[in-house]
A and B are shown apart, each in its own frame.
Chain A
Amino acid sequence: MSTASFSASTLETPVLDSQLSPLLQQITEEGGYAFASMAALAASGDTRAAEAAKDMAWEQLHSGPWHSVVPIWRDAYAMACLHVAKHHYSSGELELALRALDKGLIMGGLALRDDLNLCVGKVITALRGKEVCENGAEQPKVEWCKDFNLAEMLRLLPVRSLSCNTVGRKSGLSLEGFLQEHLLCGSPVIISDCMTHWPAKDRWNDMTYLKKVAGLRTVPVQVGKNYWQAECNQELITFSEFLERIQFNGCSSKDMAYLAQHQLFDQIQELKQDIVTPDYCFAGGGEIRSLNAWFGPPGIVTSLHYDPHHNLLAQALGKTYIRLYPASLSEELYPHSDSMLSNFSQVDLDNIDEKKFPEVLDLEFLDCILEEGEMLYIPPNWWHYVRSLSTSFSVSFWWSHTGNPPAP
């Protein structure tokens, strides 16, 4: 990479260098007095001030509802991460520098994203150089653990699974056909043959490849069996650690790690090259909202909820069970009253409380087992419950359709 030609001992941050004053001014306007004074010291090389500024910005990002964080505080956080990373880099602490940069990418704003990516490139290059010296030759391919019982997995599915209507499969579905028969009328469909050209197809079943490309990167994972469950805790660990956890204690529910709804492909550019945004997302003038990665061991559940966007869920690795309830249902599925969780159902399909939700068992639904290499179209506001049946890595493409704006 060309970035490696820069000075060996410092990380270059051209955007930050030119934008420091206006950014600090904006942060000050939002009451970031203490942050601004620490960040100014950090910019001149004060490492303790850099750390303090990072903690101050972190508190701002975590002191209230995520959506109510004043956006400039995300840039403040990214700025502090850059300062901290610069310090680690010049002290030769490459892993720590990378971790700080990843935190900046995960939680920071967009203003300094180019600097963060530039620095990541440089740190990764340095780390890989080190690794090659230490490990030498190519590592052999390591396939995913298949040591689980599919029949057992299927037995754990919610009651009435696969007993009613299943989602139809289509191959060779034209854009026009998708538009007319599914997108415009809000009808789910499995598209079975549109991922054959994905590089991920051959790459992601090799743990060594994933480790090589992203192993050193820090990612946010949910720990706990059920995504969105109260017991579910979030951790920042390296992608390698995460892969190890899936591989070696994947099925022990105590330590289950799930990389869920994370914009992994914005954070790790190299992984983005393994996926292809389906043309269906643009049928009828759509606009991509976000790409999220969902990666976890067998038996991971994303509980019943809906999203306001069109969604193509691409199953790149493994298989999952998915159950869909139409968007027309709302009260019947008891959405949480809390505004933050209002798109989540209070009903736990794995353990339905029949006294509390008597009608739920009688509701009509569609379901399917989404196999590797297939995509499921989930129309906006359709309720969905997802349960992995193997180690599973899927990518969701969310888009909004201008002709048919998503409900708020």
Chain B
Amino acid sequence: MNGGEEKKETGVNDKNEKQCEVLMWGYFPGVTAQRSPLTSPATVRFPEGELAGNSWKDVCAGGCGFGMAISGCGKLITWGSADDQGQSYLTSGKHGETPDIYPLPTADPIIKAAAGWAHCVSVTDKGELYTWGWKECVPSGKVPRCWTSMKTREDETSTKQSSTITEPGSPQSHSTKSTSVSVSCQNDKSSGDETMKRRKVITQPEYEASIPADETLSLPPCLVNLDPGVKIASVAAGGRHTLALSDGGQVWGWGYGGEGQLGLGSRIKMVASPHLIPCIDLSSNERDSSVAINQESVCVGAEQRKSIGNYIKGIACGGRHSTAVTDAGVLLAFGWGLYGQLRYWAPRLKQLQPDYGIQYALADGRVHAFGGNQFGQLGLGTNPDQCEIVPKLLDASVLESKKAKVASSGARHNAILTEDGKIFCWGWNKYGQLGLGDTVDRNIPAQVLLKDYMPKNVACGWWHTLSLYYAQSHSITYEQTSLNLA
């Protein structure tokens, strides 16, 4: 889901930000009449009022049925949800087709945000992390029952990892005890209520009645406290888990880890507080049972420890798996691997059309894909039953002599932005998430043709796609062409 390669520069103040616009296509139930899919790119209206005169800065990945983007001044903006009172509204806001600020308990600019199945997470320019939504995805600060058994092992591995980080200047001095991680939730009575009230004023006054306070399943935005000195640079949200990447190149994870997506093996189901994932160690100690209990971790493309790298520079999450890229350009993957996102490919067992697992990697601007292919989402032009165990170069003729600079994956579709400013999409298209003007799935990349604009970024939500672009004129016309050169 979130992301592909991580761009290290954070909080860039773009001179052209006033000219940036956002396009959306795919599933936004609150945007169109009768919830019809938005099969062609449409401009997202910039919020008025408080933000008048500002512009867009970035688009965010994730979100099921709602869009998320960041304004030039660092406000988080959401839209598209159809819910007017349920939990979904608490998480994504009810803005219908009108984007609005999602209120966060901080005045610091947001530089990065992502959404999972039912939770969201964002990073401020100070490296602080806020998360909200589905309770089980928001760190509780409580020590989980399984924590004590993990502690010893984790202390050991964390320490090991710290010592392997040698990037000059970049590592922070982390205290690596997992138990020292705590969370100061802003959801204690007073500040929590404040946030709620604010939302209430903004949109929907009745929702409180439908959600009794003691049965609240969603938590309002909470500050996730990591150790002092840890600054988060980037986040990725999986279905039920979250990863955060520090500026020191370390990865923290929490939430559901039952399929190994938190790097703890599959025995530990829930991790209630951020836990340092010893990515570099995992990949080299695969056979070490004390570290890797049933560890479903793999190091793709690296044969020797020394070539793995020293720190993590990018992270991404799928529904139930995680990936990380090291400074040496090695892709690490852990979590559920039915389709061979991980080290093996297992045929289905008591399962109907198992699906929903795919991973992309960019190497020198070339896209490599591996995983399942039920909707053609590998983009290799192959049959639905042809999954790939190891990353395979996506060598579609439309991508000839093109280099991809951004790749993003939705639930079952994908988008890339090439260096020459073209967007290509492929995979599942039932909700128009490919932006090609129809709802026909594509098993090879097809260009989303847009006139008069220069895309700067592309990000996939669960069933939608967003693109940030430099506007060349205010009256944009777009047409869609499928370059399906079968």
Binding site for B on A (CB under 8 A): 28-29, 31-34, 36-38, 40-41, 46, 48-49, 52, 55-56, 59, 61-68, 106-107, 220, 223, 228-234, 236, 261, 338-341
**A64 and B319 contacting across the interface, CB-CB below 8 Å:** yes
Residue contacts A-B, CB under 8 angstroms, 7 given: A31-B118, A59-B356, A63-B239, A64-B320, A65-B336, A234-B353, A340-B346
Which residues on B sit within 8 Å (CB–CB) of A36? Answer: 86-88
B344 touches A28 (CB 8 A): no
Instruction: State which of A37, A61, A106 has its C-beta within 8 Å of the C-beta of B82.
Output: A37
Cβ-defined contact, B347 with A34, below 8 A: no
The one of A28, A62, A229 that contacts B87, using a Cβ cutoff of 8 Å: A28
Q: Given A32, A40, A41, A261, which contacts B350 in the complex, CB threshold below 8 Å?
A: A261
Q: When the two chains form their complex, are residues B354 and A66 in contact, meaning their CB atoms are under 8 A apart? A: yes
Q: CB distance B29 to A63 under 8 Å?
A: no
Q: Considering the chains assembled together, what is the distance between the CA atoms of A338 and B342 in angstroms?
A: 12
B401 is an interface residue with CB less than 8 A from chain A = no
Give Cα distance in the complex from A391 to B177, angstroms: 63
Residue of B87, B218, B294 with most partner-chain A CB within 10 A: B87
Chain A residue contacts of B218, Cβ below 8 A: 33
Q: Which residues of B contact A65 (CB under 8 A)?
A: 259, 336, 338
B355 to chain A, nearest CB (A): 4
Give the chain B neighbours of A338 by CB distance below 8 A: 344, 346
Q: How far does the alpha carbon of A59 sit from the alpha carbon of B356 in the complex, in Å? A: 7
Interface size on B, residues (CB 8 A): 54
Decide: A63 near B88, CB < 8 A? Known: A28-B217, A48-B35, A107-B352: no
Bound CA–CA A274/B405 (angstroms): 61
| Contacts between the two chains (Cβ within 8 Å), count | 127
Which residue of A38, A56, A62 contacts B353 across the interface (Cβ within 8 Å)?
Answer: A62
Q: How far is the CB of A1 from chain B (nearest CB, A)?
A: 29
Determine which of A31, A37, A339, A341 lies in contact with B117 in the assembled complex, contact meaning CB atoms within 8 Å.
A31
B354 & A62 in contact (Cβ 8 Å cutoff): yes
Interface string of B203-225 (1 = CB under 8 A from A): 00000000000000110000000
Closest 5 pairs (CB-CB, A-B): A233-B385, A33-B88, A31-B118, A37-B83, A62-B355
Cα–Cα distance between A220 and B345 once the two chains are bound (Å): 21
- Given contacts A32-B117, A52-B29, A230-B347, could you give 19 more A-B pairs where the C-beta distance is less than 8 Å? A33-B64, A33-B87, A34-B88, A36-B87, A37-B82, A38-B29, A41-B82, A46-B34, A55-B430, A59-B412, A63-B336, A64-B259, A65-B259, A66-B350, A220-B352, A232-B347, A236-B352, A338-B344, A338-B346
Which residue of A33, A64, A106 is within 8 Å of B134 (Cβ)?
A33
Query: B235-249, CB under 8 A of A: which get 1 and which 0?
Result: 000011000000000
Indicate the member of B64, B239, B336 with the most A CB atoms within 10 Å: B64
Say if the beta carbon of B351 comes within 8 Å of chain A.
yes
Chain A CB within 8 A of B201 CB: no
- Pair A32/B118 contact, Cβ less than 8 Å: yes
* A213 and B240 alpha carbons, distance in the complex (Å): 43
Output the least CB separation between A276 and chain B (Å): 25
Give A398 Cβ to nearest chain B Cβ, in Å.
13
> Which residue of B is nearest A32, CB measured?
B118
Chain A residues contacting B119 (CB-CB under 8 Å) are 31
B318-367, CB < 8 A from A: 319-320, 336, 338, 344-357
Q: Quote the shortest CB–CB distance from A303 to chain B (angstroms).
A: 10
Assembly CA distance A49 to B34 (angstroms): 9
Cβ contact of A64, chosen from B87, B88, B336, cutoff 8 A: B336
B258 at the interface (CB under 8 A from A): yes
Bound Cα distance from A205 to B83, whole angstroms: 54
Tell me, yes or no, whether B307 is within 8 Å of chain A by CB.
no
Question: Contact: B91 with A33, CB < 8 Å?
Answer: yes
Decide yes or no whether B276 CB sits under 8 A from chain A: no
Q: Of A55, A64, A233, which is within 8 A of B338 by CB?
A: A64
Query: Given the complex of chains A and B, what is the CA–CA distance between A66 and B356 in angstroms?
Result: 12
Closest A residue to B343 by CB, please name it: A338
Contacts of A236 in B (CB 8 A): 352-353
In Å, the complex CA distance between A184 and B87 comes to 54
B65 at the interface (CB under 8 A from A): yes
Whether B384 lies near A233 (C-beta < 8 A) is: yes
CB pair B217 A34 closer than 8 Å = no
B27 within 8 A of A: yes
Inter-chain CA distance A339–B336, complex, in Å, is 12
Cα separation A28 to B430 with both chains bound (whole Å): 24
- Residues of A within 8 Å of B319, CB to CB, are 59, 63-64
A66 to chain B, nearest CB (A): 5
Which chain A positions have C-beta within 8 A of B134? 31, 33
Which residues of chain A are near B240, meaning CB under 8 Å?
A: 31
- Interface contact B87-A231, CB-CB below 8 Å: no
Are A34 and B239 also in contact (CB < 8 A) when A49-B29, A52-B27 are? no
Tell me whether B411 is interfacial, beta carbon within 8 Å: yes
Chain A: which residue is nearest B63 at the CB level? A34
> At the interface, yes or no: B136 with Cβ under 8 Å from chain A?
yes
Chain A nearest CB from B371 CB (Å) reads 12
Task: Decide if A63 touches B86 in the complex (CB within 8 Å).
Answer: no
* Chain A residues within an 8 Å CB radius of B136: 31
